[in-house]
Every structure is written in structure tokens, then in C-alpha cells.
Amino acid sequence: MTSKLVLLLAGHMLCDYPLQGDFLARGKNRHTPVPGVPWWHCLTAHALIQAGMNYLITGSVWFFVAELAIHWITDFGKCEKWFGINVDQGIHVACKIAWAIL
């Protein structure tokens, strides 16, 4: 469980920071979209990258689907300013702990 959690957390950080990049980080926010690109394309692409990493580590299609949905909703909430980056990252880390335990 510990090694899986370490991989999930490292994969999350890789996908949430360097692999997200400025294009997806700005474009996923409906209030600051990239001209000509629907915001939900960027948000969905980012959530799919996260879910794909989750699948590579766990091999579970269920964790892929759960990560896709929860990551999409969480990042949407952060973009809407329902909460800040600390809550956003807390939710993401809590999910990784849950996937490792399950």
C-alpha cells in the first residue's frame, strides 16, 4: 500500500504541475479561457491526464473513472473560487490515499 501511495502522490504532482502547463491551467478556467478553445476541453483534458496516471499505477478502470470525475469537479470548484488551492490539493491527496487503501 505504501509504495502505491507514493506512486499515486508522485504521479499526481507530475500531472498537476509540469504536465498541466500554463495552457491547461489557464484554459480550464471558464473565467480565463484560451481564445478559441472551450474551457471544458482543457478541464477535461487535465482530468483525463490525471485519471490516466491513476490507471497506469492502479490498473483499475473504476479508479480511472472516479479520479476523472472527482478531479474534474474539484478543479472546477477551485476555478469558481469555491475554495483555494490548499483545499483543492487536499481533496486530490485524500483521493490518492483512498485509492491506495482500496
Domain that holds residue 62: 2-101
Confidence category of residue 37, pLDDT binned at 50, 70, 90: very high
What the block records as the C-alpha cell of 46 is 487535465
Cβ contact 71:43 at 8 Å: no
User: pLDDT tens, 1-25?
Assistant: 799 999 999 999 999 999 999 999 9
The rounded percent of the chain whose pLDDT value lies above 90 is 97
> pTM higher than 0.75 for the full model?
yes
Number of structural domains the chain divides into: 1
The residue whose grid cell reads 491551467 is: 25
- How far CA 91 is from CA of 4, 41, 71, 72, in Å, comes to 18, 22, 9, 12
The rounded percent of the chain whose pLDDT value lies above 70 is 100
pLDDT (0 to 100) of residue 5: 96
Closest CA to 102 of 70, 71, 60: 60
